[in-house]
Amino acid sequence: MPRTTEGSPEPDWTDPDCPVARTLDLVGDRWSLLVVRDAMDGARSFTEFQRRTGIARNILTDRLRKLTAHGLLAQRTAPSGRRQEYVLTNAGRALFPVILTLRQWGERHAFAPGEPHSTLVDRHGTPVPELAPTGTDGTLLDADTTHVRKTR
Amino acid sequence: MPRTTEGSPEPDWTDPDCPVARTLDLVGDRWSLLVVRDAMDGARSFTEFQRRTGIARNILTDRLRKLTAHGLLAQRTAPSGRRQEYVLTNAGRALFPVILTLRQWGERHAFAPGEPHSTLVDRHGTPVPELAPTGTDGTLLDADTTHVRKTR
DNA sequence: CATGATGGTTTCAATCCGCAACTCATCGGG
DNA sequence: CCCGATGAGTTGCGGATTGAAACCATCATG
């Protein structure tokens, strides 16, 4: 994680031109994305995050702070009286496709065939279909049919 | 990263039921996904990965080994005589949507408006469109319209 | 044979992480 | 008012992970 010099929002990226690298600078550690995952599934309080992830409390403190500092979470005092809560901002909610693709890759490649795992379902309880990248012309895209154009 | 007890392929996950957590156990560190990113963009040799990522050599050694051990990369001696090369397996290539969504999030949320960044384009040089999760009925899905169903 | 590239290994210092213990502040009873 | 239970952290510490730089072995070339 690049050091935040305090004062400037985000100083030194590992690879300033690459959006992938920048994103990983913000959430590319062991825990941040699991916190976001749980936030998407309804966790709001410190202890709830702690219970769900099993992360050490000091690390959780740090992650919540960083996610808040980076604008993925917002901290507010709960409407019902006297308690803190952390809720996703728009930027945080926008990580949904990232979490989803991580989930879908995991379902396919990190479980033995037939091994049970949790599933993401929509309102009707229907499993969410596989997300497939397509071009403007509707063709499927993958690593072989695309490439990075360096910033000019 | 959970310790590999040597002998069994993948012993202790941080959260065995959750595909997101399992995926992050495999590639959820600062560097693995950048290595995969560069592999997708044509890198094959140790030095090429080192040059592109700027990662420390010992860590690169470790990551290449782990990615290979987990079946995301395959190591072979290059066709042209005496050189190693690392190429993506099918499982590795399947991370394409993950890298893509990370990229798209970064483009939108980790750059100042108007700030230049590299772009992913298809064969024709057309920028790859935003990936949007939809349900079977074609409706847009996000964190609010979906939830995780625990494994039964 | 000297030089350079490739693919590492070793060493050592700096970080990071997990655990356990401690601190506050607040609430709900009794 | 006092007691204990939560909630939300903070602090200290030992062990694991990382990063920078140096070292090493093999091959190819001039």
B93-105 CB burial, b ≥16 within 10 A, e <16:
bbbbbbbbbbbbb
Q: Tell me the pLDDT tens digit for each residue of A43-68.
A: 999 999 999 999 988 899 999 999 99
Tokens of B15: 């959260």
- The structural domains of chain B, with segments of one domain joined by +, span 4-109
Amino acid residing at A54: G
pLDDT at A30: 86
A102 to chain B, minimum CA–CA distance in Å? 5
| pLDDT-wise least confident of A26-35, A60-69, A127-136, B1-10 | B1-10
For residue A81, pLDDT over 50 is answered with: yes
With a 7 Å cutoff on the CB, does A55 touch strand C? yes
A&B contacts, CB < 8 Å = 245
Pull the structure tokens for residue B32: 């693995």
Q: What Å value separates CA B75 and C1' D27?
A: 19
Q: Which CA distances in Å does B60 have to A16, A24, B10, B127?
A: 20, 17, 21, 31
pLDDT at residue B96 tops 70: yes
Nearest CA in chain B to A2: B30
Mean pLDDT of all residues in A16-35 = 93
Q: Which amino acid is at A82?
A: R
Q: Write down the pLDDT at residue B77.
A: 80
E strands, chain A, are: 73-77, 84-88, 119-122, 146-149
Q: Has residue B26 got a pLDDT over 50?
A: yes
More confident residue, B151 or A69: A69
Given its phi and psi angles, is residue B63 left (phi above 0), alpha (psi -120 to 50 degrees) or beta? alpha
Average pLDDT, chain A: 88
- Strand D: which of residues 79-118 in chain A lie with Cβ below 7 A? 83-85
CATH topology of domain A4-109: Arc Repressor Mutant, subunit A (1.10.10)
Centre a 10 Å sphere on the Cβ of residue B128 and count the other Cβ atoms it contains. Answer: 19
Integer Cα distance of A19 and B47 in angstroms: 23
Provide mean pLDDT across the span A70-87: 79
User: Residue B37's closest CA among B95, B101, B124?
Assistant: B95
